[in-house]
């Protein structure tokens, strides 16, 4: 009887702990740091391994939130960091039961290495590190055996990296015949019917036409691809974009704006604009996409860890929307001239 009672109490305690952790994560997704972070911190300090993992992966984003910014330095460290040293240390250091996950996150964060996370099935959490790996060596994604597991929202990076590797301008040393065949097979994916006219295909076309990447790059697609990749505000300062004729630039901007009205990658941007900016919806979506920095910046908006928060729960959540708006507010202190007025009001107020 006593053993039965102990088992019942253990099950009840586990259920209560699970509910508390789930509630804390739900509060984080609701952009309620005042509720989420103290709850996660208390659980982590009590030895909860999953809470340590959760707080460890969330911590880098938490420092810029209004709740944490309202605390003094000592309070912030006590809330977000594990005791140790002058500034504490990441709670990832204390994770034991899910140590491989914690180490994979640290590899991605500290070295820009996405592949340990990819090997553990955390492809969405690896998005930022995948983008960093591309920036360090564009062909590295296309040449990796796991390239087929990279999320669809980053296929443009994979294809662009493969195309650049075939360019004698970008890479004077040619790849081996086997690698070249493989890279051409990767690029061929972009021309499959299901990718025709997609945002990811347009990102492939954003490569410089004169690099000799071995694929036809129409000027119209190249210009529109640059607008989608960088956002209009950056693209308009691009030498190649500026050197195009005014009608060509106008067509590129119109094509990019039209694609953003349906592209899955811009769904959350559309959700932000829809309630308040119905009258200028297309312009609002294009403006917010541009303000964040285009597809290059959108790659960094992802779940902190698939194992705790699946990407589909993060995308479209209040947290996702706030993360996007914080990116804009870091890039621009005030609204740039010439942007959609309704979008500017959503982001900058007034």
Each residue's pLDDT, cut to its tens digit, for the chain (350 residues) gives 554 433 333 433 444 455 599 999 999 999 999 999 999 999 999 999 999 999 999 999 999 999 999 999 999 999 999 998 889 999 999 999 999 999 999 999 999 999 999 999 999 999 999 999 999 999 999 999 999 999 999 999 999 999 999 998 888 999 999 999 999 999 999 999 999 999 999 999 998 877 777 777 888 899 999 999 999 999 999 888 999 999 999 999 999 999 999 999 999 999 999 988 999 999 999 999 999 999 999 999 999 999 999 999 999 899 999 999 999 999 999 999 999 999 999 999 87
pLDDT (0 to 100) of residue 19: 56
CB 308 within 8 A of CB 56: no
Best CA proximity match to 257, nearest among 209, 303, 223, 215: 223
Best CA proximity match to 343, nearest among 279, 278, 277, 257: 277
Residues facing 82 on adjacent strands: 89
pTM: 0.88
pLDDT (0 to 100) of residue 14: 44
Q: Where are the domains of the chain?
A: 1-97, 137-215
Distance CA(331)–CA(97), nearest Å, equals 39
Best CA proximity match to 60, nearest among 110, 119, 132: 110
Is the CA virtual torsion 13, 19, 21, 23 positive or negative?
negative
């Amino acid at each position: 009887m006593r053993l039965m009672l102990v088992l019942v109490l253990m099950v009840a305690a586990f259920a209560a702990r699970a509910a508390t952790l789930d509630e804390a994560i739900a509060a984080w997704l609701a952009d309620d740091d005042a509720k989420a972070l103290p709850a996660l911190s208390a659980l982590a300090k009590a030895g909860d391994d999953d809470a340590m993992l959760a707080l460890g992966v969330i911590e880098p984003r938490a420092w810029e939130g209004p709740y944490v910014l309202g605390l003094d330095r000592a309070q912030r460290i006590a809330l977000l960091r594990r005791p140790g040293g002058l500034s504490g240390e990441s709670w990832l250091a204390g994770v034991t039961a899910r140590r491989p996950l914690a180490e994979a996150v640290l590899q991605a964060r500290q070295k820009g290495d996405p592949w340990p996370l990819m090997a553990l099935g955390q492809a969405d959490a690896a998005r930022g590190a995948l983008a960093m790996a591309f920036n360090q060596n564009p062909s590295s994604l296309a040449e990796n055996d796991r390239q087929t597991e990279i999320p669809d929202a980053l296929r443009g990076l994979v294809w662009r990296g493969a195309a650049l590797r075939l360019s004698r301008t970008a890479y004077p040393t040619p790849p081996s015949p086997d690698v070249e065949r493989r890279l051409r097979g990767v690029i061929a994916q972009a021309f499959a019917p299901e990718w025709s006219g997609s945002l990811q295909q347009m990102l492939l076309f954003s490569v410089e036409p004169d690099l000799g990447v071995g694929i036809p790059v129409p000027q119209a697609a190249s210009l529109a691809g640059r607008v989608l990749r960088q956002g209009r505000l950056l693209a308009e300062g691009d030498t190649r974009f500026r050197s195009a004729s005014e009608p060509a630039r106008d067509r590129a901007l119109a094509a990019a704006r039209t694609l953003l009205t349906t592209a899955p990658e811009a769904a959350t941007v559309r959700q932000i604009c829809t309630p308040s900016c119905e009258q200028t919806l297309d312009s609002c979506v294009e403006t917010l996409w541009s303000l964040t920095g285009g597809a290059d910046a959108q790659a960094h908006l992802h779940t902190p860890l698939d194992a705790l928060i699946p990407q589909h729960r993060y995308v479209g959540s209040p947290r996702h929307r706030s993360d996007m708006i914080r990116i804009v507010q870091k890039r621009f202190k005030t609204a740039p001239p010439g942007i959609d007025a309704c979008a500017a009001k959503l982001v900058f107020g007034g």
